Structure 1
Amino acid sequence: MKAVFYNNWFAKLFLKEGYSTIMFFGLILTKQTKETFSRTTYEHECIHREQFADCAMLGGFLMLIAFFALQWWWAIVLPFTLFYILYLVEWLIKLIIQRDWRRVYRSISFEREAYDLQGEYMRPCAQRRSHRTLGWLKYF
Structure 2
Amino acid sequence: MIITTKYLIPKGYTSIALFPFILIRDYKYMEDKTLINHEKIHLRQQAELLVLPFYIWYVVAYLLLYIKYQNHKRAYKSICFEREAYTNESELDYLPSRKPYNFINYF
Common fold, TM-score beyond 0.5? yes
Residue 30 of structure 1 pairs with residue 24 of structure 2: yes
Alignment match, 1:5: 3
Alignment of 1:66-81 (within 5 A): 80-81=51-52
Residue 52 of structure 1 pairs with residue 39 of structure 2: no
Give 1:15's match in structure 2, choosing from 10, 33, 54: 10
Q: Following superposition, which runs of at least 4 residues in structure 1 exceed 6 angstroms of deviation?
A: none
Amino-acid identity (%): 33
Which entry has the higher C-alpha Rg, 1 or 2?
A: 1
Aligned pairs, number: 105
Q: Say if 2:17 and 2:23, in contact at 8 Å, map to a contact too.
A: yes
Q: Say if 1:91 and 1:104, in contact at 8 Å, map to a contact too.
A: yes
Q: Structure 1's 55 and 13: CA in aligned 2 closer, same or farther, altered over 3 A?
A: closer
Please, what TM-score do these two structures have when normalized by structure 2? 0.89
Q: Say if 2:80 and 2:104, in contact at 8 Å, map to a contact too.
A: yes
Alignment match, 2:84: 113
Tell me the distance in 2 between the aligned counterparts of 1:36 and 1:90. 28
Please, what TM-score do these two structures have when normalized by structure 1? 0.69
Structure 2 unmatched ranges of 5 or more: none
Structure 1 unmatched ranges of 5 or more: 57-79
Tell me the distance in 1 between the aligned counterparts of 2:15 and 2:9. 10
